[in-house]
Structure 1
Amino acid sequence: MNNKTRLFFLFCFLLTVSLQLSTLAQTKKEKKATLKELKGKAIKEAKRQAKLLRKEGYSEIPGDLPMDLQLENSYFAKLATDDMGNPKFFVSLQESKAESFAAAKQTAYQLCLNEIATQVGSEVIGRVQTKLSNAEGIEDATSATEVIGTYQNNVSSRLGRTTPVVLIKRKEGNLTYITMSLKYPVSEAERIVKDDLRKELLKSGSVEEGEIDALLDIR
């Protein structure tokens, strides 16, 4: 991955950390003002990054949003929080290369989806596993852990299709490079995981239905 893309990753991370740190112990009004300030910085940074990426040879796909607006959307997705202050989206960004645009795009999409699946595994399934490890009275906790672990390895195949918020390309010799960013609603990921795990745990017979309800009450 090139240096410009690394900078993009770093800036997204710094924005998120800045938001988390600056909103601690703030009033709702102060949080709103902080978020507005960060969004303003994100817009300026998106324009700057777009210029750097254009110099590197990147361009939009015909018909898509201008590059700076695509970058803005990715930044905003990273900043978005719900009423409780929790992130609203899982966000990933990946770069791939192939001899054709279609192949590079598909690879980038799968890489992004795999990264989101990893985030879902850590944030959503991880909370279920923690509750299971601390639960008392579950007779076959080992089998339940195995069911959850097996499902975790297949999360990416369970997530629905989602439209990229960033999709830009560049040519270098015979290769096409694609940089892509995806966002996936945390609430939708949680719904899918809870529905799937409920079915898998009921099928395995390792956990009673009432115990499943307790395990999946993770918010």
Structure 2
Amino acid sequence: MKKNVFFCLIGLMFLSLNFAFAQEKSAKEIMEERKEIAKLSKKALTEKASKDARKEAKRLKKQGWQIAPGALPLDKQLDKSYLMQYEYDENGYQKYLMGEAISTGENYDGAKMQALELAKQNLAAQVQTEITALVENQVANSQLSAEDAATVTKSIMSSKNLISQSIGRTITVMEVFRTLDNKNKEVLIRIAYNSAMAKQVAKNAVRKSLESEAEDLSKDLDKLLNW
């Protein structure tokens, strides 16, 4: 039951992010959606976190990690992270990619921004790996020459920064910090990003990279990988 409530909540959250673009919606419809989100949010908060989440939260607290003021309790954050990691689309693929990073700074905000950027780079690296695997599979099936595959792989590897910069709004599923002996702040961030959106970002980045040196190959790749 808890998983169903959570998945409904995530779906409604995405709907709420599109309010600005859904001008055809009436003010009444928007208010009804917001009320539903608030209702489900309250129910999710009152439900008890899973045993694994509570156990992990206890371990992290012993290591000095704590939540920022106003953030969800640590066990709730972990529960949210676990649920999203095990959510799959209709084709059996993971619905969300998860990126995690830790950064240290003299102040909380600086460390948080750096950790978020590193987490996005972590996501970009995962996307790179997945797209590279697709290309290698095409080579194995003799649908792409080794030379063309090498060109595509080179473009994929050089597009990491572009992929990272192009990643849009992510979902922060976990945000904790601890104060070190030297008073610096260490921040741990875990983010989620829709896999389908991540792949589209990667496709656009690879296309852009290939257009400058192998436009025909870019078109062939679209056909081979069904892009």
**Normalising by structure 1, what TM-score?**
0.69
Mapping 1:39-188, distance limit 5 Å: 43-131=50-138, 134-136=142-144, 143-152=151-160, 154-173=162-181, 174-188=183-197
Q: CA RMSD in A?
A: 2.7
Q: Displacement of 1:58 after TM fit?
A: 2.1
Report if aligned partners of 2:171, 2:193 keep a CA contact under 8 Å in 1. Answer: no
Structure 1, gaps ≥5 residues long: 1-41
CA distance, structure 1, for counterparts of residue 218 and residue 179 of structure 2? 54
Q: Cα deviation per residue 1:15-41 (whole Å; 9 max; x = unaligned)?
A: xxxxxxxxxxxxxxxxxxxxxxxxxxx
Q: Displacement of 1:149 after TM fit?
A: 3.2
Equivalences, count: 177
CA distance, structure 2, for counterparts of residue 129 and residue 46 of structure 1? 38
Structure 2, gaps ≥5 residues long: 1-48
* Cα separation, partners in 2 of 1:140 and 1:56, compared to 1, 3 Å: closer
CA distance, structure 2, for counterparts of residue 88 and residue 77 of structure 1? 8
Report if aligned partners of 2:128, 2:157 keep a CA contact under 8 Å in 1. Answer: no
CA distance, structure 1, for counterparts of residue 193 and residue 163 of structure 2? 13
Q: Cα deviation per residue 1:158-189 (whole Å; 9 max; x = unaligned)?
A: 22242321001111231112121111111001
Greater shift, 176-185 or 201-210, is seen at 201-210
CA distance, structure 1, for counterparts of residue 177 and residue 134 of structure 2? 37
* Cα separation, partners in 2 of 1:205 and 1:163, compared to 1, 3 Å: same
Q: Cα deviation per residue 1:117-172 (whole Å; 9 max; x = unaligned)?
A: 11111113431354267434799665444333322454222222423210011112
CA distance, structure 2, for counterparts of residue 122 and residue 86 of structure 1? 15
CA distance, structure 2, for counterparts of residue 136 and residue 59 of structure 1? 50
Off by >6 Å, runs of 4+ in structure 1: none
Residue 100 of structure 2 aligns to a residue whose secondary structure is: strand
CA distance, structure 2, for counterparts of residue 137 and residue 198 of structure 1? 18
Question: 2:209 matched to 1:215?
Answer: no
Residue 64 of structure 2 aligns to a residue whose secondary structure is: coil
Give the match for residue 30 of structure 2: none
* Cα separation, partners in 2 of 1:136 and 1:71, compared to 1, 3 Å: closer
